[in-house]
Amino acid sequence: RKEVEQDPGPFNVPEGATVAFNCTYSNSASQSFFWYRQDCRKEPKLLMSVYSSGNEDGRFTAQLNRASQYISLLIRDSKLSDSATYLCVGSYGNKLVFGAGTILRVKS
């Protein structure tokens, strides 16, 4: 079983829609989690950090459920520019473990 698992998608949604991604992790020792956004053929860029139960930044909300070992990312009012791959990432000591990513396509 992979340490961090995500639904690969793609999620195809219309502009303005609300979309949620889930991510499960197997190692309960993880100290914190992150969502990174990766555009096609580009490097990952940090979207949100989740150190406690959750975090909110504008249209983006991340929630962490340690009992069930999953993290979610909610995107409200989707924009065309939100189209990307979203990477769920867990931290273990000095290292990060990456999920394979969930593809989001927002269409007009």
Partner 1 sequence: DGGITQSPKYLFRKEGQNVTLSCEQNLNHDAMYWYRQDPGQGLRLIYYSQIVNDFQKGDIAEGYSVSREKKESFPLTVTSAQKNPTAFYLCASRRTGTGERIGVRGIYNEQFFGPGTRLTVL
User: Under the rule (CB under 8 A), what is the footprint of partner 1?
Assistant: 2, 4, 8, 31-32, 34, 41-46, 49, 51-52, 55, 87, 91, 94-101
Cα angle vertex 5, ends 4, 8, to 5°? 140
The whole-angstrom separation of Cα 37 and Cα 40 is 10
Q: Is the N-terminal amide bond of 10 cis, ω within 30° of 0?
A: yes
Nearer to partner 1, 20 or 46 (CB): 46
- Minimum CB separation of residue 18 from partner 1 in Å reads 23
- Which tokens is 35 given? 């969502």
Shortest gap between Cβ of 41 and partner 1 (angstroms)?
8
Give least dist CB 15 to partner 1, A: 27
